[in-house]
Amino acid sequence: MLDDAGLQALREAARLSPDNLPLRRHLAEQLLSKGYLADAEAEFRAALLLAPKDPDVTAGLAEAFVRQSAHGAALSALEPFLATPGYPPRMGVLAARALLGEGETGRAAQRYHEAVSRDPSAADPELAARLTVPPPPAYPPPPAPPTPAYATPVPPTPAYTTQADAPSGAEVEKAKLTFADVAGMEAVKESLRVKLLLPIQQPELFAAYGKRAGGGVLLYGPPGAGKTHLARAAAGELGAAFVNVGLADILDMYVGSSERNLRATFDLARRNRPCVLFFDEVDALAARRSDMRQAHTRQLVNQFLAELDGVDQSANEGVLVLAATNAPWYIDVAFRRPGRFDQLVFVPPPDASARAAILRILCRDKPLAEMDFDAVARVTDHYVGADLKGLVDRAVEVKLQQSISAGRPIPMTTGDLLAAAQGTRPTAVREWLATARNYVLHANESGAWDDLMPWIRSKW
């Protein structure tokens, strides 16, 4: 329900005169300017049915999409116009914003500068600032090993610069998240700042103490607590490249291929430093060698350890290695040696205030009535971020059915989220808690899980 009398009058006029294109376009533009994005999108769509090739209507629809972070839909709407010479410069700027949202900074900059060169009044200073990326610090390339005098010279390994050229399946991407997009977990974020980010952000200070920019941190905690989200945000906070490594990028059925894929992945990160190299479910690649029966699986662990150490002390400078696991107790103890994953960071399930903040982020682009997220947070104990997203999705599905029946968007209320919470349960925290408690209380001779003990005792 619109709370603006002028907009209500315009909407009623459009209802009485549905084929009046100027009226529909004016209503859509007013809705867009006042932030009613879903309503503006609906009106632009209706206007587009009356005038499918109207550039102003298309640009308005694309802007509504961009402001709702539907960047792919915006580009699809603009594409027919961008393919023709002399398209409106406003469309070029909107395309640049959508491309930037998709992580394609180079194409975004090209679109923006081309549009502004034709119409300087279309300039967007904020967008221009985001398209200007400061050059990364120059790190010396790792020295090549000397060729033995008796050996036949081997041509250098080609410097793969694109995913198509690289032998491993890992990709270099530009993280769009920062710590501002991570709700709660202030202690965890501060730990990552000190251990990973500050050595690159303040290199002179750390160099004075002989501290190099690089290293490894192991994030552990229950499933869905936000470990991958944190890793992306760390890369975005630094403005560094991000390489997300999955099991399929490394493991191969042929003996020796997995080790080559692992080495190629580290080489990819070294060529794109500063870089955050993230290994998800790392326990599958770094399991205890004493538990392995095949020699080639033990060899993969050995290769992983060798890559973490580097061929010399500066080989991994500027490469921040993050790994995540739900089962840190299954990882080979050699990985916790200083210089490898010696820094363990526990990522707990969100507390009540963090759950409320997560709900605010999940609901920020949806039609809302006055919300009491704290009330929902109080009834969702042991919910992780993935559980809260499922809760919001369930509430949205119910609201969509009501909106379809009513023929208009109906704002979501606190009661909708509370009703959805009645039908959902936390997925994995209780089971993980039971397993973690056994290790903390009965298998902690080395003291590795001392940081986890206070949390376990507070929950049990």
Which pair of tokens denotes residue 399? 């609201």
pLDDT at 238 over 70: yes
Q: Which amino acid is at 14?
A: A
Place of tokens 């010696």: 342
Q: Report the percentage of the chain scoring pLDDT > 90.
A: 7
pLDDT of residue 378: 92
pLDDT digits (tens, 9 = 90+) for 246-281: 888 888 777 778 888 888 888 888 888 788 889 988
pLDDT of residue 152: 38
pLDDT at 315 over 90: no
Give the Cα separation of 258 and 323 in Å (integer): 18
Question: pLDDT band at residue 417, thresholds of 50, 70 and 90?
Answer: very high
pLDDT of residue 221: 85
pLDDT at 236 over 50: yes
Give the Cα separation of 287 and 309 in Å (integer): 18
pLDDT at 300 over 90: no
**By the 8 A CB rule, do 142 and 157 touch?**
no
The CB density around residue 360, as the number of other CB atoms within 10 Å, is 14
The mean per-residue pLDDT over the stretch 317-345 comes to 83
pLDDT at 153 over 60: no
pLDDT at 73 over 90: no
Place of tokens 């315009």: 10
Low-confidence winner among 77-91, 304-318, 344-358 (lowest mean pLDDT): 304-318
pLDDT of residue 149: 44
pLDDT of residue 169: 63
The mean per-residue pLDDT over the stretch 396-415 comes to 90
Comparing 179 with 414, the larger pLDDT belongs to 414
pLDDT at 418 over 90: yes
Task: Report long-range pairs for 257-260 (Cβ below 8 Å, ≥24 apart).
Answer: 258/296, 258/300, 258/303, 259/299, 259/300, 259/303, 260/167
Burial 83-109 (b: 16+ CB within 10 A, else e): eeeebbbbbbbbbbbbbbbbebbeebb
pLDDT of residue 450: 77
Give the Cα separation of 185 and 241 in Å (integer): 23
Angle at 307 between CA 304 and CA 308, to 5 degrees: 85
pLDDT of residue 155: 42
Which candidate, 386, 205, 214, places its Cα nearest to that of 308? 214
pLDDT at 344 over 70: yes
